[in-house]
A and B are shown apart, each in its own frame.
Chain A
Amino acid sequence: MSQTEYLIIAIVILVILAVTFIVSFVLYQRTPKPKGCEDLKPSDEKCAGCTNDACAFYKEKDSVESIEKKEEK
């Protein structure tokens, strides 16, 4: 096979990878949570040391805290 053909194959594979990622991401988001897990909350035990604000969960934890603060006031 020539270099160009290899290049085309490589680009096709990269595109397939990107599509797989996007499709699986969307599917993961859309799949309903299994029974009994609808309201899983970050527990302080597990998350206290972590400050990763890229984690979708961190925001929830944040909002929980802010709600508690509001209630205190």
Chain B
Amino acid sequence: MSTFISFILAIISSMLIDNVVLSRFYGICPFLGVSRKVKSSLGMGIAVVFVIILATCICWPIYTYVLVPAGIPFMDTVAYILVIASLVQLVGLFIKKYSPALYKTLGIYLPLITTNCAVLGVVQGNTDQGLTFLNALANGVGTSLGFLVVIVVFSCIRVRLESANTPKAFKGLPIALITAAIMAIAFMGLQGLFSGIKL
């Protein structure tokens, strides 16, 4: 199988089968918190996609070509969080300076991406599992797209939930979590997606 097809398959598998929010539990906070409005959750999702892909591209070489030869692979977490935090600040700086329209929709939530587990989780998982650069990139792209899909779908459902007649104790977060559980069950159905294809 050509590299390209396996790259695409790896993206799809980390996007749908092993979904970042529903089966790996990264980024639950923004998933539950900032997803009432479809538009703002779309903005947040795209920002996360951007940061995850950039962070993967920077962190993997730092680990492989700097930390491992130097004999200090245990410094990975510190290096990653520094890379992610500076990336978020730089992207925020850029938006603040050159794109007031974008700043208006998501600028204020941008600093929160630093504490989004999805970014650090993906980057750390890539090197913990010893993936090659291409696989790491596929994992990054797939995971972030999975985050985007789930957060947008969930915000659509939540708009409906607002007007639904739920028991008083379940109003707000509890019913959102139950909804997420049903979504997780639905995504479990995708597990056999590649069973016919030899990878």
Q: Is the CB of B115 within 8 A of A57?
A: no
15 A-B pairs within 8 Å (CB atoms) are namely A6-B70, A7-B70, A10-B69, A10-B72, A14-B75, A24-B93, A27-B93, A28-B89, A34-B97, A37-B107, A40-B104, A46-B109, A48-B172, A49-B35, A52-B29
For the complex, is B167 an interface residue (Cβ under 8 Å from A)?
no
For the complex, is B196 an interface residue (Cβ under 8 Å from A)?
no
Q: Is the CB of B66 within 8 A of A34?
A: no
A33's contact among B78, B96, B176, by CB below 8 Å, is which?
A: B96
Q: What total count of A-B pairs have CB within 8 Å?
A: 107
Question: Count of A residues near B, CB < 8 Å?
Answer: 36
For the complex, is A67 an interface residue (Cβ under 8 Å from B)?
no
Q: Is the CB of A28 within 8 A of B96?
A: yes
Binding site for B on A (CB under 8 A): 3, 6-7, 9-11, 13-14, 17-18, 20-21, 24-25, 27-28, 31, 33-37, 40, 42, 45-52, 54-57
Q: Is the CB of A49 within 8 A of B70?
A: no
Pairs A-B, 3 closest by C-beta atoms: A50-B33, A34-B100, A10-B70
Q: Is the CB of B36 within 8 A of A46?
A: yes
For the complex, is B130 an interface residue (Cβ under 8 Å from A)?
no
